[in-house]
Chain A
Amino acid sequence: SSELTQDPAVSVALGQTVRITCQGDSLRSYYASWYQQKPGQAPLLVIYGKNNRPSGIPDRFSGSSSGNTASLTITGAQAEDEAVYYCKYRDSSGYHWVFAGGTKLTVL
C-alpha cells in the first residue's frame, strides 16, 4: 500500500484561514476524506468526496483536490477547531484504507 504525508503541526490565528494538506500518489485516483479528533474523543468525519460535509459540520470546513494533493480548508478558524486532523484514502488497489499521520492544528 502507498503512503500519504501530512505536516505534523500547523497553527492559525483565531478567525483566520488555514489549509491542511495531504500528499500522495493515490490521491490522483481517489478523493480523500478528512477526520477531526479532539483529545479523548473518537474521530469525527468533516469532509468526504469532492467537497461534502456531513450533517452538522459547519460550512467553514471545505475540501479540495489537485493532482496528488488533497486539502482541508478552515475559513475563519474557531478555538473549538483545535484538534488533530487526519486524511484518509484508498490505496492504489482500492482494497486498503489508509490514514495519514495527522496534523495537529493549534488555534492561537
Chain B
Amino acid sequence: QSVLTQPPSMSGTPGQSVAISCSGSRSNIGSNYVYWYQQFPGTAPKLLIYYNNQRPSGVPDRFSGSKSDTSASLVISGLRSEDEGDYYCAAWDDSLRGGMFGGGTKLTVL
C-alpha cells in the first residue's frame, strides 16, 4: 500500500476536465514538493509537473498541478485521447528519508 494515495482509475470524455488527487501526510506532501509523472504502456515515465505546479518545457498548459496542506491535485483540462495513460504523484518523505510514489491512476478517455 502506497504512502501517497491516488484513485486507481478515472475517466473522462474528450474536452472534459479531470482532476487526479494525491493524498499524503505532513512528512511528505506537507513538507516537500509534489511531482507528477505520466506513463504510457511499454514506455518510461515522463516528468509532467515539478515543484507542485511547474511544467517542464514541452508539456502543454492543459496540465496543471496544485498542492494544499497534505494533498495535491493534477488537473487535465480539454481532455484528449492521447492523454490516456497512467499518472503518478511523487514526493520525498522526511520521516522515511526516501522517495514515495502514489499507486498511480489509470486515465481512460472515453
Tell whether A and B belong to one assembly: no
